[in-house]
Amino acid sequence: MGCSRNCGLLTGAIIGGVLAVFGGALIPLGNYLVDKTIRKEDVIENGTIAYENWVVPGSAVYRQFWFYDVQNPQEVMNNGSRPILKQIGPYTYRMRYLPKENITQHPDYTVSYMLPNVARFEPDMSVGSENDTFTCINLAVVAAPAMYQNSFVQILLNTWIKSSKSFMLQTRSVKEILWGYEDPFLKKVLYPVERTVGVFYPYNGTSDGLYRVFNGKDDIRKTAIIQSYKNKSTLSIWAGQCDMVNGTDGASFPPFVKKDRILRFFSSDICRSIYGIFDSEQIVKEIPLYRFTVPRAAFASPLETPENKCFCTETVLSRNCTSSGALDISACKDGKPVYITLPHFLYASEDVSENIEGLSANKDEHETFLDIEPTTGFTLRFAKKLQINVLVKPAPKIEALSKLTKSYIFPVLWLNETAIIDDDKAAMFRSKVISPIKLLHLLQVVLIIVGCVMLLAFAISYCICKSNKLSDKEVYM
C-alpha cells in the first residue's frame, strides 16, 4: 500500500515536470509558428491578408480641412498689419477608396503600382458645405514676385493684377481653394500660363506614382519598403541624404516592430521622407498597438538636428538656417512659394509664428501619429497632420504687395488625414492574428504553472510520505 502511494506521488511529480517542460518548449515552438504565419501572410502578393488590405485600404481614409479666415483684411492690405486668423472646419473628404492601379509583380521581389487620387465630400462630417466662403490669401498674386523676380516683368504683372481687380487677399469657397478656380489675374496674362489655381489642383482624376515596393517574399524585413518613386530612389529636390526616398508609404511596415525602432515613411504631399519614434502603448478595439509619433527633431533647425541641414534651401527667411519648423517645398511645386509646417506652427521658431495672430499650437491636437500592430506591422490607426502656407514678400513694383514691410509665411489651411480600423476588420484581425497568439501564450503559461504546481505538490507529498515511513520504522524498532 505504501509503495502504491509513493509510486503515485512520484508519478504525479514526473507528470508535472513533463507538463512544465512541455509548456516551456511551447515558447520557442509558438514563436516559430507565429513567425512562420506572419512571414506567409505579410507578403504583398495575391491571397495574403497583407495584399487584401494593401490593394484598397482596409479602413475608410478621411482628410479633414480647417481653413484660416482673415479677420482684418483691410488692415492687412492697406497697412501691412499682422493678419488675425480664425480657423473654420472641419470640411471632410473621403480619400483613398479606389484600388491601386497598374499593379505589377516583378522578378526582383518588388511590386509596382499607381495610387489614384480621388476626393469625395462628406457633408455629414463637415461643419458646412463646399460652397462656404472665406477671406484668404490670393495664391496667384503672392506667388508672382517669387516666380518672376525681374523688375520689368513685375511691372507687367502689376498692370494685369490691377486690371483684373485682384488684391493680396480674396474671398473663395472651400471647393475653389482646394480643387481649383480660374484666376482673373492669370486670365489677363498675355503669354501662356496655367490659369487655374488651387492648393491641390489638379487632384481628382490624377494619380500619384509610379511606386515600386518590396513585396517581402525573399526578405520579410523589407516588406512594403519603397524601392523607387517615379522610377528613382531620389527626388532631385534636396541635397544629400534628404533627397532619399526612405521607408514605406506609412500604411504598413515590416513585421515584428520593436519599440526602439525608427519607422521611416515617405510622403509625396511634403516631398520628403520623414520618421516616427515610439511614444506609448495603445489599445484600439481590443488590439494592442504601438504609437509612433513624428518628433520635434524632424522639423528642428540644423543647429539642433545637424542632419536637417540639407532641408534648408535658403538663408534669408530661415535666418541662416537657424529657424525651425518650416519646410520650403517650392522646388517640387514648380517654383510656387509653398511652405509646409505642422498645424498652428507647432514646433516652429518664434520668428515663424510671430507674424500671425490667432493661432494656438497644441501637441495633442496637432501632432502626427501612427498606431502600429507590432506583430504584423500594419498601421491600424493614424492621423497625419500638416499645414500649408505660402510665402508673402514685399514687392514695390506690385501695388497689391507694396504695403508689406517684411517677408513671412502666411497659413492657408491645415489638414488631418486620418483612419481607424473598422469593426469588421478589427474582428477579423482579432480572430486571425490576436486570438491565436493570445491562446498560444495562455496555453504556455497554464502548462508551466500547472506543471510546476503538480511537480512541487507531489514532490513535497512524496518527501513527507517517505519521511513519515522512516519515522514509523524507527518507532517500531
Q: What is the mean pLDDT of residues 39-67?
A: 89
Q: What is the mean pLDDT of residues 42-70?
A: 91
Contact between residue 136 and residue 172 where contact means Cβ atoms under 8 Å apart: yes
d(CA 35, CA 30): 8
Q: Which of 281, 300, 301, 304 lies closest to 291, judged by CA?
A: 281
Question: What is the torsional sign of CA 240, 243, 245, 247?
Answer: positive
More confident residue, 433 or 238: 238
Whether the pLDDT of residue 85 is over 70: the answer is: yes
11 or 384: which carries more pLDDT confidence? 384
Average pLDDT along the chain: 87
Q: How far apart are alpha carbons 21 and 447 in whole angstroms? A: 8
User: Which ranges in 42-138 belong to alpha helices (H)?
Assistant: 49-55, 73-79
Per-residue pLDDT, 19? 45
Query: Can you give the pLDDT at residue 22?
Result: 46
CB contact at 8 A, 42 and 377: yes
Query: Residue 337 in contact with residue 391, Cβ under 8 Å?
Result: yes
pLDDT at site 39: 78
Beta bridge partners of 408: 392
3-state secondary structure of 91: strand
State mean pLDDT over 405-411.
95
Give the amino acid at 7: C
- Mean pLDDT calculated for residue range 56-64: 89
pLDDT of 26 reads 46
**Angle of CA points 464, 470, 471, to nearest 5°:** 90
Q: Give the confidence band of 94 by pLDDT, cuts at 50, 70, 90.
A: very high
User: What is the per-residue pLDDT for 436?
Assistant: 59
Q: Is the model's pTM score more than 0.85? A: yes
Distance, CA of 263 to CA of 278 (rounded, Å) = 9
* Spatial contact of 77 and 168, defined as CB atoms under 8 Å apart: yes
- Is 292's pLDDT higher than 70? yes
Q: What is the pLDDT of residues 145-161, one digit of tens each?
A: 888 888 899 999 999 99
Lowest mean pLDDT among 92-96, 318-322, 379-383: 318-322
Q: If 0-12 CB within 10 Å is exposed, 13-18 middle and 19+ buried, where does residue 136 land? A: buried
Q: How confident is the model at residue 470 (pLDDT cuts 50, 70, 90)?
A: low
Q: What is the pLDDT of residue 30?
A: 47
Q: Which of 16, 66, 3, 162 minimizes the C-alpha distance to 457? A: 16
Q: Are 291 and 370 in contact (CB under 8 A)?
A: yes
pLDDT at 41: 81
- At 14, the pLDDT band (50, 70, 90 cuts) reads low
Residue 471 above 70 pLDDT?
no
Residue 100 and residue 115 in contact, taking contact as beta carbons nearer than 8 Å: yes
| Helix or strand run (H / E) with residue 278 | strand 272-284
- Spatial distance between the Cα atoms of 345 and 357, rounded to a whole number of angstroms: 11
Q: So what's the pLDDT on residue 296? A: 95
pLDDT surpasses 50 at 16: no
**Amino acid 435: pLDDT:** 55
Quote the pLDDT of residue 38.
75
Q: Count other C-beta atoms under 10 Å from residue 246's C-beta.
A: 16
Name the residue with cell 486670365: 187
Give the H or E element holding residue 386. strand 379-392
Range in 311-315, 368-372, 408-412 with the lowest mean pLDDT: 311-315
Cα atoms in the Cβ-side hemisphere of radius 13 Å centred on 136:
24
Residue 170 pLDDT greater than 90, yes or no: yes
- At residue 92, the 3 state secondary structure works out as strand
Q: φ, ψ for residue 280 (rounded to 5)?
A: -165, 170
